[in-house]
Amino acid sequence: MVSLLRTIRSVRRVGLREWWRQMQYIGDAKSGTYVGKDQFGNRYFENRNGEEEIPGRHRWVDFAQHDFNATQVPPEWHSWISHIRKEPPTNDSVMQNLSPPWQAPYVENLTGTRGAYKPYNTVVPKINAWEPSVKPRA
């Protein structure tokens, strides 16, 4: 009965469509205040009252892509979700002044995709494979 009550309460808070999307993606319906958005389009939320949340799990990310992985969370947002820093990067003046303009933007880990780094060898191999040579008959 408690889970049915929690389900009804979640549908009322976030709406039927958002509730269904959350159940499909993260397997749980969460509602909280919107904190910010990163360069990948991920949205970050926080539920301060925490009446229904497990302690320490009142901050979460809503990934922009359906096929997501953890490397799509930039370091400044990861530190906020992990409770390393108190203020989110959007409200933290130190984080906004910290990154120099010459620094490249954060790039997710592309291993297993077409954009993955592929090294190449420029050294001549020490051992060459045998290639048979056929002499023409006279």
Domain membership of residue 43 (yes or no) is yes
**Residue 56 pLDDT exceeds 80:** no
Place of tokens 């051992």: 127
Sequence length of the chain is 138
Report how far residue 74's alpha carbon sits from residue 42's, in angstroms, rounded to the nearest whole number.
10
Domain membership of residue 21 (yes or no) is no
Domain membership of residue 71 (yes or no) is yes
Q: How many domains does the chain have?
A: 1
Place of tokens 């809503």: 62
pTM: 0.70
End-to-end CA distance of the chain: 94
Domain membership of residue 37 (yes or no) is yes
Query: Which is nearest to 85 in space by CA: 49, 39, 36?
Result: 36
Per-residue pLDDT tens for 65-118? 887 888 889 888 999 999 888 888 888 777 777 666 666 777 888 888 888 888
What are the structure tokens assigned to 73, written together?
A: 């969370």
Domain membership of residue 13 (yes or no) is no
Which residue range(s) make up the domain with 44? 32-97
A 10 A CB-CB count for 77 gives 26
130 DSSP 8-state letter = P
Place of tokens 């319906």: 29
